[in-house]
Amino acid sequence: MSLAPLALTMGEPAGIGGEIALKAWRALRDDGPSFFLIDDPDRVARLAERLGLETPIETIADARPREAVLGRALAVLDIGHRVDAEPGKPDVRHAAAVTGAIEKAVSMARAGAAGAVVTNPIQKSVLQDAGFPHPGHTEYLAALAGPRTRGVMMLVGADLRVVPVTAHVPLARVPEMLSAERIVAAGRIAARSLRRDFGVAAPRLAVAGLNPHAGEGGTLGREDLDIVAPAVERLRADGIDASGPFPADTLFHARARRTYDAALCMYHDQALIPLKTLAFEEGVNATLGLPFVRTSPDHGTALDIAGRGTASPASLIEALRLAASMARRRGRHG
């Protein structure tokens, strides 16, 4: 059975989401995964004209666009809001359109009308001004999936996959939020996804320590002895090939990366600095643990360059390709 087209959300309309969506369609129209955009069709057409990106736009109304449409034009599912965003200047008036596009994509993916969800970057501060209660996309998607769903972020790029155990929280709060239970939960979800979505038969997880030198036997903090090491043992007791805790400063060089399939990191920057150093243009954010596949470019809204025509679609293109690959594997293996 062929994969249904991917649902791409509009993201922050004052950012680069529309531009990179247009560029991605132009790059993938002949040999890439099929996708449609959930947006204001008039906005997308105006943006294409402004940027000189000759792209046929076709408005679709049905839940599953015809392949014929996808092959000849960028199909845009009308979100039902007029969006007149000015590049670089987010407006809280557009928050309902942004979150509505995400909700529509999720409902279509869960109904089988979309093969996966791919999200353009959102401006969280603007959404929160409109009452958005979530720290970010990952938490919002987990809430849409159901009350017992735990979403786990994985960043993918080059020959590295990283999973931050804590993500969008201040660094000062990481030690108090870290627990063996949290590490174990993230490790279990990562191992399951590596098997089901990435085709890794026997996943190997390397677990980074929280402190310098992984605590150096407790002299630089006891979290690695009291929290991280017991979590590794619990993962191993589950039959997962987990090892660590390792000093983070020696975990990401080329030889070390060959020894594991994903690294569990204790906080946001510990995971994202090496990933973005190795794959700044092509990195992809995937949310694990959801009942549908979701990926996103691993960058923000780039308000400073919005409307200039200089934004690279590379990360979005990789996000679309990874979403299609994950969805096909999940379809085969359940």
Give the largest Cα separation in the chain, rounded.
Answer: 64
Establish if 291 belongs to a structural domain.
no
**Domain assignment of residue 294, yes or no:** no
171 lies in the same domain as 310: no
Return the minimum-mean-pLDDT range out of 56-65, 193-202, 274-283.
56-65
pLDDT (mean) for 271-280 = 94
Distance, first Cα to last Cα, the chain:
14
* Same domain (yes/no): 123, 165: no
Asked if 30 and 89 sit in the same domain, the reply is yes
Residue 55 sits in the same domain as residue 81: yes
Residue 333 domain-assigned? no
What phi, psi does 88 have (nearest 5°)?
85, 0
Residue 70, pLDDT above cutoff 90:
no
> What is the tens place of the pLDDT at every residue in 212-270?
999 999 999 999 999 999 999 999 999 999 999 999 999 999 999 999 999 999 999 99
> What percentage of the chain's residues is helix, strand, coil (to nearest 5)?
45, 15, 40
Q: 306 in a domain, yes or no?
A: yes
The fraction of the chain above a pLDDT of 70, given in percent, is: 96
Domain harbouring 18, CATH code: 3.40.718.10
- Round to whole Å and give the CA distance between 84 and 174: 39
Digit-coded pLDDT (tens) for 73-113: 899 999 988 999 999 999 999 999 999 999 999 999 999 99
145 and 7 in a common domain: yes
Residue 89, number of CB atoms within 10 A of its CB: 10
> Which of 8, 4, 2, 3 minimizes the C-alpha distance to 117?
8
Average pLDDT over residues 4-19: 95
Q: pTM for the full model?
A: 0.93
- Residue 231 half-sphere exposure toward CB, CA atoms < 13 A: 29
121 and 181 in a single domain? The answer is: no
The reply to whether 286 falls in a domain is no
- Would you place residue 32 in the very low, low, confident or very high pLDDT band (cuts 50, 70, 90)? confident
Nearest CA among 292, 186, 162 for reference residue 238 = 186
Half-sphere exposure of 95 (CA within 13 A, CB side): 14
291-315 pLDDT tens trace: 999 999 999 999 999 999 999 999 9
Selection from 104, 52, 115, 49 nearest residue 78 by Cα:
104
Residue at 267 is within a domain: yes
Peptide bond connecting 245 to the previous residue in cis, omega within 30 degrees of 0: yes
In a domain, 21, yes or no: yes
Distance CA 67, CA 281 (A): 29
Residues 191 and 319 in one domain: no
- CA dist., res. 211 & res. 190, Å (int): 22
**Does the pLDDT at position 174 exceed 90?**
yes
**Same-domain status, 192 and 115:** no
Count of structural domains, the chain = 2
pLDDT of the residue at 267: 97
Pairing of strands 294-297, 284-288: antiparallel
Residue 66 and residue 198 share a domain: no
Q: Are the CB atoms for 32 and 317 separated by under 8 Å?
A: yes
Q: What is the pLDDT of residue 129?
A: 87
Query: Contact 223/178 with Cβ under 8 angstroms?
Result: yes
123 and 239 part of one domain: no
15 and 134 share one domain: yes
Same domain for 91 and 197, yes or no, is no
Q: Is 308 helix (H, G, I), strand (E, B) or coil?
A: coil
Q: Residue 155 carries which side chain, given as an amino acid letter?
A: L
User: How far, in Å, CA of 107 to CA of 151, rounded?
Assistant: 17
- The whole-number average pLDDT for the span 46-60 is 93
Structure tokens of 200?
């890794």
Partners of 263 in beta bridges? 162, 206
Helix (H, G, I), strand (E, B) or coil at 41: helix
User: Is the pLDDT score of 188 beyond 70?
Assistant: yes
pLDDT of residue 62: 65
Calpha distance 24→28 (Å, rounded): 6
Q: Residue 69 sits in which domain range? A: 1-150+299-328
**Distance from C-alpha of 114 to C-alpha of 6, rounded to nearest angstrom:** 5
Query: Rounded to whole angstroms, how far apart are CA atoms 228 and 222?
Result: 9
The answer to whether position 265 is within a domain reads yes
